[in-house]
Structure 1
Amino acid sequence: MNIGIDKIGFYTPHLYVDMNELAVSRDIDPGKFTIGIGQEKMAVPPVTQDSVTLAANAALEILDDADKEQIDFVIFGTETGVDSSKSAAVYVHELLGINPNARAIEVKQACYGATAAIQMAKGHIALNPESKVLVLGSDIARYGLNSSGEATQGAGAVALTISANPGILALEEKSAYMTADVMDFWRPVYSDKAFVDGKLSNEQYIEFFAKVWKQYKDKSGFDLKDFEAITFHLPYTKMGKKALKPVLADAPENVQERLKANYQVSTNYNRNVGNIYTGSLYLSLISLLEQKEDLERGSRIGLFSYGSGAVGEFFSGILQPNYRDYLKTESHRNMFALRKKVTVPEYEAIFEETLPTDGSTVKLDIEMDPAKICLAGITENMRQYVNKSK
């Protein structure tokens, strides 16, 4: 029985800041942002969007009534959850009207969370082949204004349904993974901003990829020539390129050129959204599938997931015969086209507009946010969500 990704979609806020303008305002050569790390635009989330609403908006795009009835497990991967007890999945479950006879949980391991959710979902479908699992990867990356990590911020969510006989990508059985206690990136419970050792994180990412790739080759018998493309977790779009370059050396030239070209296509969406943590690998997959129009059915796609702290995994999937019928290419094109550029001062003001942490009641103006699902405020320490489409 084939198990894998049946549907996939994403959502990013309607606001962005231009990286050239951000660089100039920070007295930095714009090339360091646009070429050095490979970022052109950075999504800016208004206060009416959090990890719950981003995920719910992403899922709203792909789910129909039949999906909502078949889904009996919602798994939400995030490192920017909104509650230390109640899972973000429960909020999404209610906002979307999913079958009440379902499990709903939140999982966490930095940017690896959504991959852990997918692997968990595969096991569930193997035991319950008539059901579907909704997997969500949603985050808002915050490092602080004028911080060293500011240029690698972003916001967005990816939603996937995992099922038997999937429409898009059948996931193969073999995968390779590893864990090591590394302090390359972390966010203590008392902080709304992350801490990062950038040099160490880059080194660990590259090292993890080399190790799990070797392990995967030994397990599967596959080599680079067997892949049409390899997609990566992308905290910034040059990161995957740095990890891929060393392993390409022994591949035939035509294989090297194919993988490098397809890697570049896979970064298109990420370079215009920024880092979305748990969803970034799957945003790069969406970019590849929607932007590379001549990807053939039966192609093998590799996926490298990395979550600081650290856990890494390499796995693969086979493109299904009619996978293009399940994509939301036009919808995503329109979403990008309708975004609004904000100035750097406007971005800074939006960044500083945060929710109260003392239990204060607050009502937010959701009419300024075109998203269908928004955070409307806080009452008695409870977040108030609104689905405008209901």
Structure 2
Amino acid sequence: MDIGIDKIGFYSPNVYVDMEKLAEARDVEPAKYTIGIGQERMAIAPLHQDSVSLAANAALSILDEDDKEKIDFVLFGSESGVDHSKSGAVWVHQLTGINKEARSVELKQACYGATAGIKMAMGHIALNPESKVLVLGTDIAKYGVKTGGEPTQGAGAVAMVLSSNPRLLSLDNDSAALTKDISDFWRPLYSDYAFVDGKFSNQAYLDFLNDVWVNYQEKTGRTLKDFEAMTFHVPYTKMGKKAILAMTENEEESERDRLMEYYQSSIYYNKQVGNIYTGSLYLSLLSLLEQGPELEAGSRIGLFSYGSGAVGEFFSGTLKADYKNYLSKDKHESLLNERRELSISEYEEMLQQSLPKDGADIEIESEDMKEGTVYLTGVKEHIRQYVKK
């Protein structure tokens, strides 16, 4: 059965920080941020945007009434969940108006959560060919002011509708996965910020990529020549370049150059948004599809997903004919271009805002709530309050 991605879209908050200005404020050479890690702008989530509202906004940007009727599974991948019990998927289900008979579940494994959702969706559709599944990757990467991870923050969500006979990308059932219990990045329940061993995490990412790529080749008999382009989980965009260099170390220079050319198209959106954890790989895929040249039907795209802790997976898909007709390039470019730049002082103040931790009620008001469709407007009697315009 032909199963894959029928629709894809993303949403990011309407405020950002310029990375050159952040570097100057931190007495760092700007090239360390713009070239060294490969970031240009960094989306910041105001208090009225959390993982639920970001996901709902992303979903509403692509769903039509037929989708809402046929979607019977909502899978919410995130490491920025807002409740230990209730899934973010339940809120998104209500805010988007999806049919009441749908199942709604939250998935967590660092940046791998949305990929787990895709694998579950494929199995569900194989058993229920008329079904559609909404898969969400939504996160807020937040490390704090003047921390080592500060330039690799970000915020946003990617929404995908999976179905049989998709119009964008058919997914192959040929993946290779790996799980190891390591401590390269983690966030205890008591901490607002993650702990990370940056050097170890980078190496773990590349080690996992090598292991699953070797396993994938053994399973399928495919080589790099079978792929038109590769997309990667990119916590910062320079990581994708490191991945290609690792994969092509023993390949012809022409192979590396070809993949590097597509890599530039695949990081366009990520460079403007920053790290969105579970959505990062799929924002890169979307960037390739919208910002890259139109590829021939049947072109194979490789996808590498990595979630610290750690789980990695390599899988692939083939492009459908006329896939460009079903994308929203202009809308996504407008979303990014119409954002408001924060001064460094505004950014620092916004980053340190948080909801009360003592159970107190709060009402949220902000001029920036003029954009988007769904907002968190406060907390009342310990229950988050969302509004859909």
TM-score (norm 1): 0.98
Shift of 1:325: 1.7
Q: Is the 8 A contact 2:303 2:316 kept in 1?
A: yes
Q: After the TM superposition, which residues 207-356 of structure 1 pair with which residues of structure 2 at under 5 Å, given as runs?
A: 207-356=207-356
Query: How much does 1:110 deviate?
Result: 0.1
Q: What secondary structure is seen at the aligned counterpart in 2 of 1:82?
A: coil
CA offsets per residue over residues 263-313 of structure 1, 9 Å max, x none? 121111101100000000000000000001232221100000000000000
- Distance in 2 between residues matched to 1:75 and 1:246, nearest whole Å: 32
Q: Is 1:178 aligned to 2:143, yes or no? A: no
Whole-Å separation in 1 of the counterparts to 2:229 and 2:80:
30
CA distance in 2, matches of 1:65, 1:366: 31
2-side partners of 1:175 and 1:131: how far apart?
Answer: 23
2:39 corresponds to which residue?
39
Cα distance in 2 for residues equivalent to 1:177 and 1:226: 20
Letter in 2 for 1:235: P
Quote the Cα distance in structure 2 between the aligned partners of 1:336 and 1:376: 23
User: Are 2:19 and 2:42, in contact at CA under 8 Å, matched by a contact in 1?
Assistant: yes
1:130 maps onto 2:133 in alignment: no
Structure 1 range deviating more: 178-187 or 364-373: 364-373
- 1:203 match: 203
* SS class of match (2:268): coil
For residues 156 and 368 of structure 1, the distance between their equivalents in structure 2, rounded to whole angstroms, comes to: 16
Q: Distance in 1 between the 2:88 and 2:366 partners? A: 20
Report matched runs for 1:61-210 at 5 Å. Answer: 61-210=61-210
3-state secondary structure, aligned to 2:61:
helix
SS at match of 1:249: coil
Question: Is the contact between residue 112 and residue 311 of structure 2 (CA under 8 Å) also seen in structure 1?
Answer: yes
Is residue 73–residue 134 contact of structure 1 (8 Å, CA) maintained in 2?
yes
Q: Which moved more, 1:320-329 or 1:375-384?
A: 320-329
Summarize deviations over 1:195-224 as a string: whole Å, max 9, x none. 100000000001000110010111111100
Shift of 1:254: 2.6
TM-score (norm 2): 0.98
Give the Cα separation in 2 of the matches to 1:340 and 1:14: 6
Counterpart position of 1:385: 386
Amino acid at match of 1:109: Q
Deviation at residue 58 of structure 1 after TM alignment = 0.4
Is there any run of 5+ residues in structure 2 with no aligned partner, and where?
none
Correspondence for 2:377? 376
- Aligned-partner SS, 1:62: coil
Q: Percent identity?
A: 60
SS at match of 1:303: strand
**1:22 lines up with 2:22 in the alignment:** yes
Distance in 2 (alpha carbons) for counterparts of 1:152 and 1:253: 30
Q: Do the aligned partners of 1:366 and 1:374 also contact (CA within 8 Å) in 2?
A: no
Q: Cα RMSD (Å) of the superposition?
A: 0.8
Structure 1 residues without counterparts, runs of 5 or longer: none
- Residue 236 of structure 1 aligns with an amino acid whose one-letter code is Y
In the alignment of these two chains, the number of paired residues is: 388
- Structure 2 Cα separation of the partners of residues 295 and 378 of structure 1: 47
Paired letter, 2:108 = K
Separation (CA, whole Å) in 1 of partners of 2:383 and 2:226: 50
Please say if residues 361 and 379 of structure 1, whose CA atoms lie closer than 8 Å, have aligned partners that are also in contact.
Answer: yes
Are 1:80 and 1:140, in contact at CA under 8 Å, matched by a contact in 2?
A: yes
| Displacement after TM superposition at 1:246 (Å) | 2.2
> How far off its partner does 1:367 sit?
5.0
Cα separation, 2, equivalents of 1:219 and 1:7: 29
User: Cα distance, 1:357 vs. partner?
Assistant: 1.2
